[in-house]
Amino acid sequence: GQTHICHWNVRGPGFFALHAAFEMQYTELFTAVDEIAERIRALGALAPGGLGNLAQMAGVKEIAEDASAEAMVQHLVDVNEKLVTTLAKARDLAGDADDSQTEDLMIARIQVHQKTIWMLKSYLA
């Protein structure tokens, strides 16, 4: 995914901090994707295959491998903001369908992505 690309290719004075931060983020994202995929299966649908498919479905463009550290961080801010919007729509649909389990899952994911946005923006400040 996008965070993996940033983790592998970040360079510059902030390398160590960003490399570690990106690793924490992609590790958390892997667990989240698994939880969401299992919820989709519990609802009787087939889960989309892989992070790449999910990113494509969300309309996320890939970051260039040679992007600057600041461009990587800004890109991940943008991706997380897009995810918050998408998750909020899913939360509302789940609420309309009286699916409180999915609604709770979406609320929890929104909180994680909002915290990630705050942390990434703090790096850019």
What is the residue-level pLDDT of the chain in tens, covering all 125 positions? Answer: 889 999 999 999 999 999 999 999 999 998 998 999 999 999 999 988 765 666 666 677 889 999 999 999 999 999 999 999 999 999 999 999 999 999 999 999 999 999 999 999 999 99
Whole-angstrom Cα distance, residue 28 to residue 19? 14
User: What token pair was written down for 4?
Assistant: 């993996």
Set out the domains of the chain in order of their start, with CATH numbers: 2-124 (1.20.1260.10)
**Full-model pTM:** 0.89
Contact (CB, 8 A) for 74 and 124? yes
Burial of 73 (0-12, 13-18, 19+ CB in 10 A): buried
